[in-house]
A = this chain, B = another copy of it.
Amino acid sequence: SRSLRLAVIPGDGIGQEVVAEGLKVLAAALPGDVKLETTEYDLGARRYHASGETLPDEVLAELKTHDAILLGAIGDPSVPSGVLERGLLLKLRFAFDHHINLRPGKLFPGVASPLAGSPQIDFVVVREGTEGPYVGNGGSLRTGTEQEVATEVSLNTAFGIERVVRDAYRRAAARPRKKLTLVHKNNVLVHAGHLWTRIFQQVGQEFPEVSTDYLHVDAATIFFVTQPERFDVIVTDNLFGDILTDLAAAVTGGIGLAASGNINPSGAFPSMFEPVHGSAPDIAGQGKADPTATVLSVAMLLDHLGFTAEAAKVEAAVAADLAERGNAGTRSTTEVGDALVGRVSG
């Protein structure tokens, strides 16, 4: 019999609650002969306060031995900004070379969009995950004084861009519309922008069936709200992808529904799946959090591990659940999870 060795990082706030539901749905969706083995890791604000640790080397080494990672949410206002982001979340992405940050933007039937007229939205953002302004290559001089100067360096390599661009072309080629949009700011960030543009055009020659276009990031935000149906696959840099995928979540019904994968397609390291939302300390522990984004992240995890039919089943369960929610009273976190388990098992 096969097994799936999953590392679970529930994290902070609502992370615990939504991950519990995600695991229930995962267990229900997996084929009967696959044994799900989970190991839980206590990381996040609590551990940081208790021991000062964000991601100890031993934990990193243990995480590496798993097939995949499921993460809930990390963060708490009691921890200074940047400590858990750089010391845990980004450290994981860099250590496991998660260069494909995959974030679907899909407006499911029945979900209210803040956009008038509820447009058809079904695109996916392929965000670069290991370069750009996220590399942590910044510093400051005369820190804390009136003469302080602070820098942040965006590092971009042909190697790093080519692999994410090729991945995006492959995904576009596999979709019905076969359309790929590069988003950057190549009229201002000319060096990074021209490198992205050159590689985008170069790799495109291998995919003549994919139609392409280019948008500056500022213009892209306009189309996200005025014409989101124009997008199929979007490939973009780390920071622009961060910004655009929150906006994508907003126009497709909110971050309560937005899933993501931090993927290393080579399999050399485990990929990690997590809802885009944060730890929402204001509603933590109240059983109010919507676990749907986590469940959709579980669908991405299944798909990544080759359980394609099972992934589709989970996504279909979510779609059916969302379509029927209507104006029904608000359900608790476990009620939503149970409903999804029911659909997946049914």
Task: Contact check, B191 vs A140: say whether CB atoms are below 8 A apart.
Answer: yes
A222 neighbours in B (Cβ, 8 Å): 246-247, 249-250, 254-255
Would you list which residues of chain A between 193 and 218 have a CB under 8 Å from chain B? 193-195, 197-198, 217-218
Task: Contact check, B86 vs A188: say whether CB atoms are below 8 A apart.
Answer: yes
| Nearest CB in chain B: distance from A171 CB, A | 22
- The bracket for how many chain A residues form the interface is 35 or more
Cβ of A145 < 8 Å from any Cβ of B?
Answer: yes
A334 neighbours in B (Cβ, 8 Å): none
- A198 CA / B150 CA spacing, docked (Å): 12
| Nearest CB in chain B: distance from A230 CB, A | 13
Cβ of A34 < 8 Å from any Cβ of B?
Answer: no
- A225 CA / B195 CA spacing, docked (Å): 32
B-binding segment of A131-139, A306-314, A318-326: A131-139
Cβ of A6 < 8 Å from any Cβ of B?
Answer: no
Task: Contact check, A225 vs B114: say whether CB atoms are below 8 A apart.
Answer: yes
Cβ of A154 < 8 Å from any Cβ of B?
Answer: yes
Task: Contact check, A191 vs B151: say whether CB atoms are below 8 A apart.
Answer: yes
Task: Contact check, A81 vs B187: say whether CB atoms are below 8 A apart.
Answer: yes
Which of B134, B152, B187, B225 makes the CB contact (< 8 A) with A192? Answer: B152
B-binding segment of A25-33, A156-164, A295-303: A156-164
Cβ of A59 < 8 Å from any Cβ of B?
Answer: no
- A333 CA / B133 CA spacing, docked (Å): 42
- A194 CA / B149 CA spacing, docked (Å): 11
Which of B113, B114, B154, B187 makes the CB contact (< 8 A) with A154? Answer: B154
A156 neighbours in B (Cβ, 8 Å): 149-152
- A112 CA / B117 CA spacing, docked (Å): 12
Cβ of A60 < 8 Å from any Cβ of B?
Answer: no
Assuming A82-B193, A239-B185, is B218 touching A144 (CB within 8 A)? no
| Nearest CB in chain B: distance from A228 CB, A | 10
Q: Mark A163-190, 1 if CB is under 8 A from B, else 0.
A: 0000000000000000000000111111
Task: Contact check, B221 vs A246: say whether CB atoms are below 8 A apart.
Answer: yes
- A31 CA / B117 CA spacing, docked (Å): 45
Task: Contact check, B152 vs A191: say whether CB atoms are below 8 A apart.
Answer: yes
Cβ of A305 < 8 Å from any Cβ of B?
Answer: no
Taking A82-B187, A218-B243 as given, write out 7 further A-B residue pairs in contact, using a Cβ cutoff of 8 Å, ordered by the A residue number. Answer: A114-B226, A150-B192, A150-B194, A150-B195, A151-B192, A153-B154, A218-B246
> Taking beta carbons and an 8 Å cutoff, which residues of A are in contact with B?
81-82, 85-86, 90, 112-117, 133-134, 138-140, 144-159, 162, 185-195, 197-198, 217-219, 221-222, 224-226, 239, 242-247, 249-251, 254-255
